[in-house]
């Protein structure tokens, strides 16, 4: 990589930022395509967010990914925000264009593109269950509602969060969305009759944690999607595979959400396989 006065800058802001694997993924794609870009991680504490955004404008940065804790607090600095990002209430990608800053959220389309890559269909007009009611669950419920899923059950340990998320997104989309607890007697039937079950609860990261749902409830041939990517094949996915469900892990979503941002900044479709290998390499280094 040769940096010159013409090299275009993209990057990521967060606090902390040291752990981010995005620089490896994006710089691998930049190198493979021979583009004159560099992707730089910037450590930006909350108090400096406004100054950092102004600085990026001043030095003609092309695009910035946004991670914790700035995904919501960056919104007041933006000139435009996509419908998806507005519904999700969080932005993970900034595009600097002709003096304006546009905010998008690529988690939702990344989630859907990873399914499409595996030839798995979103159940348009059908039903889905989303386990968890945190930040990523919100993005996924928005993705599913905008993609035409008719009924979405959100189930969560803290019932009030599932109910609040369902009420908010029911009002703002055409989907019929309801929230219940993990111990609700309606959950086995909701899972058994849904074409798509998505886990967003972080308990999947802990291989010793008991499963949040009983795999016996899963219907064969339904799709079980666990967005957790460490480990790449979670215990839920192993149990679902034994029930002859179609299974998909979170690595594809992670790669696709990055690839969508890359394409928006450079106008070039990045090589997904190179990004995937770079991500794997970054995991192996940890």
Ligand X SMILES: NC(=O)c1ccc[n+]([C@@H]2O[C@H](COP(=O)([O-])OP(=O)(O)OC[C@H]3O[C@@H](n4cnc5c(N)ncnc54)[C@H](OP(=O)(O)O)[C@@H]3O)[C@@H](O)[C@H]2O)c1
Separation of CA 166 from chain center: 19
The reply to whether 46 sits near ligand X by the rule CB under 6 A is no
Site string for ligand X, 141-180 (x = CB under 6 A): ---------------xxx--x-------------------
Q: What is the DSSP string of 228-254?
A: --SSSS-HHHHHHHHTT-EEE-SHHHH
Nearest to 262 by CA among 30, 18, 41: 30
Specify the residue, 20 or 203, whose C-beta has the smaller distance to ligand X: 203
CA dist 21 and 153 (Å) reads 32
Site string for ligand X, 205-224 (x = CB under 6 A): x------x------------
Distance of closest approach, residue 44 Cβ to ligand X, in angstroms? 19
Specify the residue, 61 or 248, whose C-beta has the smaller distance to ligand X: 248
Site string for ligand X, 231-250 (x = CB under 6 A): -------------------x
Q: Which residues contact 24 (CB under 8 A, 6 or more apart)?
A: 278, 279, 281, 282
Q: Which stretch binds ligand X (CB under 6 A): 32-40, 83-91, 199-207, 232-240?
A: 199-207
Q: Which stretch binds ligand X (CB under 6 A): 80-88, 165-173, 201-209, 239-247?
A: 201-209
Q: Where are the beta strands (DSSP E) in 132-245?
A: 151-156, 176-181, 196-199, 223-226
The reply to whether 254 sits near ligand X by the rule CB under 6 A is yes
The reply to whether 107 sits near ligand X by the rule CB under 6 A is yes
Length in residues, the chain: 286
| Helix, coil or strand: residue 195 | coil
The reply to whether 276 sits near ligand X by the rule CB under 6 A is no
The reply to whether 278 sits near ligand X by the rule CB under 6 A is no
Q: Where are the beta strands (DSSP E) in 1-47?
A: 8-14, 37-43
Binding site for ligand X (CB under 6 A): 107, 132-137, 156-158, 161, 200-203, 205, 212, 227-229, 250, 253-254, 257
């Amino acid at each position: 990589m040769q940096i010159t006065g013409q090299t275009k800058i993209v990057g990521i802001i967060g606090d902390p930022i040291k752990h981010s694997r995005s620089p490896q993924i994006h710089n691998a794609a930049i190198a493979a395509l021979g583009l004159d870009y560099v992707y730089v991680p910037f450590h930006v504490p909350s108090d400096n967010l406004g100054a950092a955004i102004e600085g990026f404008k001043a030095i003609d940065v092309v695009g910035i990914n946004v991670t914790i804790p700035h995904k919501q607090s960056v919104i007041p600095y933006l000139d435009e925000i996509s419908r998806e990002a507005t519904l999700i209430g969080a932005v993970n990608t900034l595009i600097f264009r002709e003096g304006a800053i546009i905010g998008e959220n690529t988690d939702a389309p990344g989630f859907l593109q990873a399914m499409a890559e595996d030839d798995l269909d979103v159940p348009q007009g059908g039903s889905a269950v989303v386990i968890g009611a945190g930040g990523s669950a919100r993005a996924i419920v928005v993705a599913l509602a905008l993609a035409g899923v008719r009924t979405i059950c959100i189930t969560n340990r803290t019932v009030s969060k599932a109910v609040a998320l369902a009420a908010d997104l029911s009002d703002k989309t055409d989907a019929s969305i309801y929230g219940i607890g993990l111990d609700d007697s309606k959950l086995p039937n909701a899972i058994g009759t849904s074409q798509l079950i998505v886990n967003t609860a972080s308990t999947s990261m802990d291989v010793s944690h008991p499963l949040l749902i009983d795999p016996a409830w899963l219907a064969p041939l339904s799709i079980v999607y666990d967005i957790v990517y460490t480990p790449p094949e979670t215990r839920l996915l192993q149990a679902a595979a034994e029930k002859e469900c179609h299974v998909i892990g979170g690595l594809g979503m992670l790669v696709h959400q990055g690839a969508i941002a890359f394409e928006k900044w450079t106008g070039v479709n990045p090589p997904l396989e190179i990004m995937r290998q770079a991500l794997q390499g970054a995991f192996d280094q940890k």
